[in-house]
Amino acid sequence: AAPPGPPIYVDLAYLPGSWSARTVDEEFFRRIRSLCYVVSGDDHLKEGVLRSLLDALLAGKHQWGTDIQVTLIPTFDSLVMHEWYQETHDRQQELGITVLGSNSTVAMQDETFPACKVEF
């Protein structure tokens, strides 16, 4: 458990992947308040905890009591993410959460990959 204290405000926070993703709960989002959260780590371990992580974002953001817009940036495609997005879309709008989806592709050297641009 984290010691009591004020929230920490940041512009960008990467959410941990693999086994560490299990440590991201409602308290994490209540304490670490970011303008953008990056959900990375396209692996089977994260897929297993992804829904609880996304639900924790909703619950934690609800406790902020401020009108701060938050952007969620997934770096991989996931059925769990799609289902969560559809099922909680109204709640996301109420809380000021935007989920970035990107169909953009960047070509560098001999490689192409999906990407999105985030400006502060």
At residue 97, the pLDDT reads: 96
At residue 102, the pLDDT reads: 61
At residue 107, the pLDDT reads: 85
Q: Calculate ∠ Cα 37-39-41, nearest 5°.
A: 150
- Domain range annotation of the chain: 8-114
- According to DSSP, residue 5 is labeled -
What 3-state class would DSSP assign to 84?
Answer: helix
- pTM, 2 dp: 0.82
Mean pLDDT of the chain: 85
Q: Please, what sign has the CA dihedral across residues 19, 79, 13, 55?
A: negative
Round to whole Å and give the CA distance between 101 and 59. Answer: 22
Q: Please, what sign has the CA dihedral across residues 25, 28, 33, 34?
A: negative
Pairing of strands 104-108, 97-99: unpaired
pLDDT digits (tens, 9 = 90+) for 94-114: 999 999 876 667 788 888 876
Summarize the confidence of residues 33-47 as an average pLDDT. 78
Which is more confident, 69 or 22? 69
